[in-house]
Amino acid sequence: MGLGLKSGLRRRTSAALACALAAFTPGCGETGVDALAVWIDGNIDENGNRELQIYDRGERRSVLFQPVIPGSETQLLQMAVNGRARGVVLSGTRETLFVDLREGRRSGITAALDETRDLHPDFGTLRGGDAVYRELLSRTPTTARSVGLLPLSGRFGLEPSVVSTPGEPDGAASWHLLSATDAPVMFWVEERGDPIHAEGRVQAVVYPSAYNSPLPVPEPTVVAQGTLVGRGIDEGGTRETDDICPNRVCVSPSGRVLTTQADEPCALWRWDWTRASSPNIPLAPRRIVLPDECPSNTDPFLFATLSDDLVVMDDDQRILLFDLSNNTMRSAPKIGTELADVRLADRGKAILYISPAGQVVRVDEFGARLVSTEQSFCTIADSTAVSPSGNWVVMSCNGQAPNGLPDGLIMRVSALGLEQFAGISMRPVAVDDEGNAMLYSFDSDDSSVEPRGLFILGGDGTLARTDDLEPGPAPVAIPSEENGRVGGRFFHAVGIPRNE
C-alpha cells in the first residue's frame, strides 16, 4: 500500500467546533493537554480517502489521507506519533512516510532506497524518538541485517540511508538492534544461546539528530566496534522481565555505555564506546564488581541503566539502585504481590513500577521511593498512560467494579496521592506534566471497545467532552518493539515535556 497526504494541514472547522474552535483550543473554560495525538476517521469518502485527525497541544487539525491503491484497508496501515512529538508516521506495505508538523517537511522510506531488497511489512522507531527504520529483507539467504533509517530532526534529518550490520553473525548467533532513549546512538549486538544473551561483536553507530548528539555527523556513522559478553537469564517468579533491556543488554540514556550481567552474582560487564581510540580498533568490555552491600545470595538481575553510572537491579523482594561513580547501593521494597507494569520516563532517566491497584514506586537519580501507597479495588489495569516526566500516571480499570458500584474507574496517581473517578468506561490516551489527561469513552458491553467520545480530565479533576468522534476512529496498527506491530488500536499519542 502506497501512501499519500493531500498537501497542506488545515484546521478543522466543522459544526462540532463551537465557540470559535474552543472545543479544541485552550480557552472558553476548557483545559488542553500538552500532547500530540492522531487517529484516522472510520468513514471513507467517495474517492476512498479518509481524514487523519491531529490533536496538537489543544489545537485540532486534519489531513486528507489518500491510499494510492483504491480499496486499501486500514488494517494494512501502521500509524504513530514520533517520540519527540514532532510529527506523524504513516506506514503501508510500500512506504513509510513521516510528516513534520513543526516545520512542514516530509520524507519517507521506500523500496527505492535499496532495490536489491524488499521492505519488511512493519516499521520501527528508535527509542530516542527521533528516527524511524524499516527492515530491508534480502532476496538471497543471509543472516546479515540492513535497515532503512530515517532521522527525523536536525540539519541532516529526513535523509534516508541504509545501515547494515558488520557482516554476517558468527555461527548460531544473530544480530540485535538496540538504541538509546536520549541520544541518537544505535547498536548492533551479536546474541546467541538459550537463554539468549550477548556474546560476540558489537558496533556503535551515531546518526544525525537535533537532540543530544555526541558527535555532529551528516549521516549514520560507525564510531566504535568491539566485543561484548553477557549472561542469559531464565525469568520467572516476581523478577521483572527484560522489556527495558532486551535480553539483559542495557543501553544508557546517553548512548555511551552498554551494560550486561556477568556470570557470577553482583558483577557486570560494561562497554563504553567513548573509550575507543579508533572506530577500527576493537574495544573490549570492562568487568565491574558491585558494592559489598549487593546481596549476592539473592542473585539480583540487571534491569535498567538510568545514566552511564546508575544501574537498576532487582531480586524477589527489592528494587536495587547502584551508583557506580561512588560505589553505593540504595533499595526499596517491591509493591503488591503481582509483577508491576514497568514504564520508562524522563527520556529513560527514571523507571516507574506501577501496580494495578494504583501503587507506584519511582527509581531515578534520587533513589528508589514510594510515590503512592494508596490502593483501589482494581486487579487488572487495562490501559496506562505516563506523563513525560513520570510525575503523573493515569490508568483505567473496567469490568471489575464490586457489586453496587458503577463500572468504569479512572485512577490518576502522583505525589499528591491516588485520585479515583468512577462511573464511565474510559481508557487514557495521554497525560501531560500538569496531570491533564486525554481519554476516550466506550460502551462497556461492546467487545470492540470502539471509542464513543474524547474527553479531557483537567488537573483540577473536571471532566469535559472535547469531541463526539463522529465519525469514529478506524482501528489501525501501531509499532511494537517486541512484536513488530499491535493491531486494533484507535489512537497513538505522545505527551510533550514542558521544555519542548
pLDDT at residue 8 tops 60: no
pLDDT at residue 479 tops 70: yes
**SS3 label, residue 346:** helix
The whole-number pLDDT of residue 240 equals: 63
- CA dist 412 and 418 (Å) reads 6
The reply to whether omega before 166 is within 30° of 0 (cis) is no
C-alpha cell at 92: 503501508
pLDDT at residue 23 tops 70: no
pLDDT at residue 96 tops 70: yes
Tens-digit pLDDT profile for residues 341-378: 899 999 999 999 999 999 999 999 999 999 988 999 99
- Band (pLDDT 50/70/90 cuts) for residue 400 is confident
pLDDT at residue 198 tops 90: yes
C-alpha cell at 144: 546479515
Greater pLDDT, 335 or 183: 183
The whole-number pLDDT of residue 196 equals: 93
pTM: 0.91
Tens-digit pLDDT profile for residues 28-62: 445 799 999 999 998 888 887 889 999 999 999 98
Can you name the residues that pair with 96 across neighbouring β-strands?
91, 109
The whole-number pLDDT of residue 204 equals: 98
- Band (pLDDT 50/70/90 cuts) for residue 75 is low
Tens-digit pLDDT profile for residues 216-244: 999 999 999 999 999 988 766 556 666 89
pLDDT at residue 165 tops 70: yes
Most confident of 92-96, 283-287, 471-475: 283-287
Cβ atoms of 318 and 302 within 8 Å: the answer is no
The whole-number pLDDT of residue 455 equals: 96
C-alpha cell at 394: 493515569
The whole-number pLDDT of residue 71 equals: 40
The reply to whether omega before 195 is within 30° of 0 (cis) is yes
Sign of torsion over alpha carbons 417, 421, 426, 430: negative
Give the chain's mean pLDDT: 88
Greater pLDDT, 135 or 241: 135
The whole-number pLDDT of residue 430 equals: 97
The whole-number pLDDT of residue 30 equals: 59
Task: Please state which of the ranges 388-402, 428-442, 468-482 shows the lowest mean pLDDT.
Answer: 468-482
- CA dist 53 and 49 (Å) reads 13
The whole-number pLDDT of residue 481 equals: 73
Contacts 24+ apart (CB under 8 A), 375-381: 375/418, 376/409, 376/411, 376/418, 376/420, 377/401, 377/402, 377/409, 378/409, 378/411, 380/356, 381/341, 381/354, 381/356, 381/411
- CA dist 354 and 77 (Å) reads 31
Can you name the residues that pair with 492 across neighbouring β-strands?
38
